[in-house]
Structures are given as C-alpha cells and as structure tokens.
Amino acid sequence: MPYLFTSESVSEGHPDKVADQISDALVDNFLAWDPESKIACETLVTTGQVVLAGEVKSNTYIDVQSIARDVISKIGYTKSEYMFEAKSCGVLSAIHEQSPDINQGVDKKKKEDQGAGDQGMMFGYASNETAHYMPMALDLAHILLRELSAIRNEGKQMKYLRPDAKSQVTLEYGDDNKPTRIDTIVISTQHDDFADEKAMQERIKKDVLATLIPRVIKGNPQYKKFFNDAIKYHINPTGKFVIGGPHGDTGLTGRKIIVDTYGGKGAHGGGAFSGKDPSKVDRSAAYATRHIAKNLVAAGVCEEVLVQVSYAIGVAEPMGIYVNTYGSAKVDMNDGEIAKIVSSVFDMRPYFIEQRLKLRQPMYSECAAYGHMGREPQVVTKSFKSADGKSKNVKVELFTWEKLDHVAKVKKAFKIK
C-alpha cells in the first residue's frame, strides 16, 4: 500500500546551523595547528550574542572570537537590521581544559588501544534510492536550500532573501518501497521587510515556482520526472518571515542531528557531531557506520541497510555491531551472519576509524550545513591563521566516509563476483 514519508533541511543561516558551523570552525582551527587536539566545543547564538563553551586539550591557542566572526560573515549576517551581525555581535568564550578523568580513558600508551571518548550507540544507513545512497526526500530538501542559498549569494534574483531558511519534502512511496512522486514541498525563507504583506507572499511564492524550482530541476535532471503540476507547495505558510536567524530563535550546537544524517530514515543514536574531535565516537563511529553501510549497498550485499555500533567510555573494542538489511539482502545469509563478516572487514576501534577515514584533518567546517552524509569526497586546500599571525595552507580530504574504497574487500568477504 502506498505511503508518505517526509524529511526536512535547514539553511546555513538557520540559528542551530550557525552554532554548528562556529563549533566546527573551532575544531578545524585546533586540528590545523595540533592534529592531536581533543575538542568538545558548544556554541549558543542569540540576539547580538555568541557564547562559546566546552573542553579542549591542545598544544595550540586560537583566536576563537575572530574565527566565530568570520563564520558569521561568510554565512551572510553582515547587516545591522538582522540584529545579529558579524562585526558587532558579542563573543563570550567559556572554553576550558578537558577533564583528566575523561582523557585518561582515551589516551593510552599504544595508540591502537585508544579508548572511546564516550559511551553510546551510533548508526549508519544507506540505500540504493539515490545515486549517492541517500534517502531521496532528504536529498531534495538539501538541494532546494542549497540552490536558494546560491540565488541569495549571487544577488541577481530574489534580492530580498536573508540567510535563514527551512525546507521540507514529502514523497509518496509505492508498494515496492520506491519513491513514485513528490506530494508536498514546503519552503520557508527569511526575507527583507515589504510594505504590503499580501504582495510579499505572492511575490515570494511566484519567485520560488518560477526561479528556484526550475533551477533545481535543471541542476538535478535525475529528479525531473518527480516534478509536476500536482505538487502541493507551502511557501512561507505563516506569512511574514522578516525576523529570523539568531535574533528570531536561539541557536545551539547539535540540535539538527536528523538534518545532519538521514532525514528520519534508519535510526539515530542521539549524539551530535559538530564541535567534536574524532576521539568522540558520536562523530567518528557515525561516519564509520555510514562508510560501512554505503559500501555494503554498493557491493551488492543488500539494497538497504542500517548498521549500529556501540561503545563503553575508555574501551577500544565496541560492544558489538548490529546489521539490519530490512529483508533486502542479496546474499544467502541472515543479518547476524552479515554483521559477523562486517566486523572482520572493518576494524571499529576508535584509533583505526581515525586512521581509515583520515579524521585528524581540519575537515569538518564543510560538514556543518546541508548534511554530513551523502556528500561528494574531494580534496581541497584550506588556509588557517594562528593567533600569533602565522599562516599555513593544508591539503584536506573531505567526506572520506563517502568513499566506495572498500567495495572490493566487501565483495571478497561475501564471495560476490
């Protein structure tokens, strides 16, 4: 029987995402100058204020105020009428040294014995629903806002756009659990003030349908067949959306964990990513389970899979690995047998996850908006400036957990030709 499924996304100007981006910029700057840094940085943003808090163990010092302001400026909060502006907002830091009680469980004489930075369970998910093995509703929700952001930054059309925005996409699935059509699209975008509220709503809706949607279809031809005149659109459904960003709603690091992962598909262990170095398995093991899930589906083990791993704080070996293929396995094994083979192919001790996915690079700022999963692996050169004025360029490999570099190993382990 057909059913509906919905996922949402938020723009880089959403207050929670502003907080995530600041936290991850701090992580990157610490790792750029001291790759062994241990970091857990939280950010709060509100009207005219940024509050930084957390624990750090590092051999470097960074100018957190300058880094925060730079992030805010790049997002687009550069006008005083936004009531949150890069140059004028207050930045308060309450970052202090990491607890030695935690650190003793992580650092060990042998690096390979490195313990998990916390207890918990982490999930990775993949399906063959899209070319990059992500749920389609979330993919479309991200695409809509990335394109809206591109329009805003180009400054040629929809010149009234402000940084804060949200999207939501509802798909109808058929009896075969495959998407058949787009049922509903919701777009809420912050905008400049208009004298006539009714004219404002009509203008924004017209521009979304005449400018945004055609650009989305043109840039993503694989989804063209899902767009038609029967789609229900809700464009700024509450009406006026002038007050937004951190002035309209306080933002906190780690409050968009479903946007960051799979849009509600699969499962989530509850731990956020941004602001944490890779010794925190909330982050590194979530990336590692995504890496496993994607390579399993790409290798032909199954069409859809959820992978769970769990840890005790200070202990290197995970409590166990769980696999659920939702009955889509293409190999003659049950899910428990698949999990055992997965354990033999992928070493899930924290140190080996860090090494396999190269997680001690300053690679995290690019993850902090529009999802950590389903992104394109790439190599970039990033520039960093230290608190004492030194500069350095670092070649960084992004989204390493999205690489299909273990497909051959998986096929061999499962005897798939």
Q: Residue positions in the annotated binding site for ATP?
A: 14, 164-166, 240-241, 249, 255-256, 272, 276
Residue ranges of the annotated binding site for K(+) are 42
Does residue 289 contact residue 311 with C-beta atoms inside 8 Å?
Answer: no
Does residue 311 contact residue 119 with C-beta atoms inside 8 Å?
Answer: yes
Q: Which two tokens stand for residue 219?
A: 């840039």
Residue ranges of the annotated binding site for Mg(2+) are 16
Q: Which two tokens stand for residue 101?
A: 């009680």
Backbone angles phi, psi at 348, to 5 degrees: -100, 15
Residue ranges of the annotated binding site are 14, 16, 42, 55, 98, 164-166, 240-241, 249, 255-256, 272, 276, 280
Q: How far apart are CA 81 and CA 247, in angstroms?
A: 10
In Å, how far from its chain's centre is CA 129?
A: 19
Backbone angles phi, psi at 152, to 5 degrees: -60, -45
Q: What is the chain's Cα-based Rg?
A: 22
Residue ranges of the annotated binding site for L-methionine are 55, 98, 249, 280
Q: Which residue in the block uniquely carries the two structure tokens 């017209």?
A: 206
Does residue 89 contact residue 48 with C-beta atoms inside 8 Å?
Answer: yes
Q: What angle do CA 376, 302, 288 make, to 5 degrees?
A: 45
> Sign (positive/negative) of CA torsion 264, 270, 274, 280?
negative
Q: How far apart are CA 90 and CA 96, in angstroms?
A: 19
